[in-house]
Amino acid sequence: MKLHNKVDKRILREQLLASDEERTTISFYKYASVKNLELFRDHLYVQWDEIGVYGRVHVATEGINAQLSTPTEHLNAFVATLKDISFLENVRLNFAVEDNGKSFYKLVIKVRDKILADGLEDKSFDSSNKGQHLHAKEWNQLMEDPNSILIDMRNHYESEVGYFDGAVAPDVDTFASSLDVIDKMMEEHKDKNIMMYCTGGIRCEKASAWYKHKGYKNVYQLEGGIIKYAHEVQDEKLENKFKGKNFVFDERLGETIGQEVIAQCHQCGIPCDTHVNCKNVACNLLFIQCKDCAKEHEGTCSAECQSIIKLPEEKQKELRKGKKVSQNIFKKGRSPHLKFKHEGDKEIPKMPGMRKL
């Protein structure tokens, strides 16, 4: 029984780019008690692989977190697989705002300790005691309340390219590290309206419950995150208060929500919000690069990486043998050789590690 892909990822990526198959990108999550993780994981893989689903899925005893792409002709069949699972029968699906069908090129389903790495070990914490969900119209209205504080629950490389005007964002690399930073910053404002948003809602689902556990009284979260907000704004003809791009964790790397370009190329400094991965596989750093710099530097982040990609493939393999680059990838533009890299903790010196957007 096939339970994982065995084809080289570069071949799969090339096949995806060359394909004219119409695909639909979807994300969803659900906190629920899952008992037999391996059986659940295998069941999902068999069902979804059969209809050509690609994507990245984490399952844990606390539920499921999925970012997927399915052939559009099999969309109904995919939804039917969810309805066969009791706790996923009515799960909210977030459909991509900008979808070229090239978001994922293979299916990976992994068993994890948690569906979202949060670093929380407090056994008394009840993650089901969540904050109040707000739809786009309600969100826009509460933003106007002077008693409201807007918190971006995403990482610095996400808010660098897009945000709600007036939000405060943690200058951190991970969700887990943001929880304490935000708590320290907000400890004098526990009676305010704490409004939180993220990409699709999963981070706010956990964070809102955590802050209620910590004594915050009025905690709100954006229903379905930025993705659902963008759809609701368009469908209901509301004012779009989100500026720039929404960073997404797939091959697309971003969806345009607002028309503003609020970031800059990390190499030359011109307005730009296009994330790319360094073409040197041993580096693979994610950073912002404009078209001119992409041409000049051949898609790399540094002169060193540019020289490496010109070496024979076997030599490149030797240089990267035994190296783990995952942590460097998620530094997301903090590398010292990037002249215009993001630095966001200097605007509010009284709030260490925070920046107001």
Domain-located, residue 169: yes
- The pLDDT tens digits along the chain (357 residues) read 566 666 777 888 888 888 899 999 999 999 999 999 999 999 999 999 999 999 999 999 999 999 999 999 999 999 999 999 999 999 999 999 999 999 999 999 999 999 998 988 877 788 788 999 999 999 999 999 999 999 999 998 999 999 998 899 888 888 998 999 999 888 888 899 999 999 999 999 999 999 999 999 899 999 999 999 999 999 999 999 999 999 999 999 999 999 999 999 999 999 999 999 999 988 889 999 999 999 999 999 999 999 999 999 888 888 887 766 554 554 555 778 888 876 654 333 334 444 455
Which of 180, 213, 238 is the C-terminal boundary of a domain?
A: 238
**Do 193 and 143 contact (CB within 8 A), yes or no?**
no
What's 48's domain CATH number? 3.30.70.100
Number of C-beta neighbours around residue 316 at 10 A: 16
Query: Annotated active-site positions, please?
Result: 198
H or E segment to which residue 177 belongs: helix 175-186
81 and 141 co-located in one domain? no
Alpha-carbon distance 345 to 168, whole Å? Answer: 11
Q: 81 has which bridge partners?
A: none
107 and 158 co-located in one domain? no
144 and 103 co-located in one domain? no
Q: Please provide the distance, in angstroms rounded to a whole number, between the alpha carbons at the two ends of the chain.
A: 50
Domain-located, residue 160: yes
Number of domains in the chain: 3
Domain-located, residue 343: no
Q: Whole domain around residue 316: which residue ranges?
A: 275-329
